[in-house]
Amino acid sequence: MKNITFAILLIISVIILAANTFIDKNNFKINENTESSAVCRPQSIFCYAKNKTQSTDCATAFIDKNNFKINENTPVAEVLQQLGEAAPSHIQNKEISKDLVVIGENIVLNGLSSKTGEGGRRQSKHFVCTSCHNVQREDPVLSVSNPQARLEYAQENGLPFLQGTTLHGVVNRESWYNGDYNKKYDPEKIKPAQTNLREAIQLCAIECAQGRELKDWELEGVLAYLWTLELKMDDLNLSDADLQRIENGIDDGAQQAELVQFIKSKYSQASPATFTDQPDNLKQGYGQKGDADNGKLIYDLSCKHCHENGRYSMFVLDDSKMTMRFMKRNFTKYTRYSTYHVASYGYTTNGKRQYMPNYTLERMSNQQIEDLRAYFERESR
């Protein structure tokens, strides 16, 4: 009798295991009722376990080690893994993630969440991801954070000049909320976000966007969309000889570590963040001579991105003489309308969750602040 009972239990266990192992990839749909256990296996949409850690088998299961060829469209992450680099903890199975991508794209670009990727519930009443982040490349050289080079690149490519680092290539970075962001956020909140992209996304959704926490399927949707913005080899400005050397080194263990470092030298693994203070004397400013033409670029591509027609702010800016005079007059005053003050510290209103984030020195230099001042002074005449 015991043997029969054991046999029955064994058969049931095998059936359960089989049911949990074989998932129909073609008809798999994810929604808010999908169990986490259904999406944490290599056979499913993404490699995501309940404890938000990564299975090495899952991370490496989708890279063909045979006949690997590199061209300008080859993802940087795949090349690094071919060279023996461990996959990041936020890796996802790209085989059947299209449903997730449209969900994430809707959240990132429109701030709306639905299972279809169209319309839906707002994540935040105040901001969307693109309020502060571009989704396109924004730096001419990916290994250098230069605000003036970024401003000129933004002008050439029709991009806004924003406080937050672009989401293009965010999945290729190795840390987030770097530098002086330790001064802005609760250590218990920021520490996990600095080394885990999923945690960084949640922190941004709650603290930066002043919205609600993302559900698991929404979070994975955002991450799936961010993977569509990953760096490609063409982004690194490599020569044909460089590409050939990397491809030849994939099977040469002696070269792999060196090639990994060479590839990583072509882009930043973290976005630096240095907070600054307003000048000790607002009338004297930072001491640099301002360039009014450059200031106009900053005003058009940065200030007006949020403030024109009240897009993200109740404080409306335009090109009228009255606005120019108002900005000039308050530039050197110790008020909430001083550009010196709000650029350095941001601004919040008591009782309201809507706010203005500050600029780090890497996102807007002191020279550029002086350029804004020169622009307002010129246009006020």
What are the chain's domains? 77-273 (no CATH), 292-379 (1.10.760)
Q: What span, in angstroms and rounded, lies between the C-alpha atoms of 318 and 299? A: 10
Do the beta carbons of residue 200 and residue 176 sit within 8 Å? yes
The two beta strands, 355-356 and 347-348, are antiparallel
pLDDT value, residue 17? 42
pLDDT value, residue 35? 43
Q: What span, in angstroms and rounded, lies between the C-alpha atoms of 131 and 123? A: 13
- Sign of the alpha-carbon torsion through 133, 134, 140, 143: positive
Query: pTM for this one?
Result: 0.84
Q: What span, in angstroms and rounded, lies between the C-alpha atoms of 113 and 57? A: 31
Do the beta carbons of residue 364 and residue 280 sit within 8 Å? no
Q: What span, in angstroms and rounded, lies between the C-alpha atoms of 193 and 360? A: 19
DSSP characters over 96-125: T-HHHHHHHHHHHHHSEE-TTSSS-EES-S
Alpha carbon of 232 to those of 20, 49, 60, 70: distances in Å?
35, 27, 19, 10
pLDDT, tens only, 38-78 = 443 333 334 443 344 443 444 444 455 567 889 999 999 99
pLDDT value, residue 16? 42
Residue numbers in the chain where pLDDT is lower than 50: 2, 5-28, 31-32, 34-62, 351
Instruction: Read off the amino acid at residue 113.
Output: S
Q: What span, in angstroms and rounded, lies between the C-alpha atoms of 39 and 218? A: 13
For 356, list phi and psi in degrees, rounded to 5: -110, 125
Structure tokens at 177: 């909320």
- 264 Cα distance to chain centroid: 18
pLDDT value, residue 64? 56
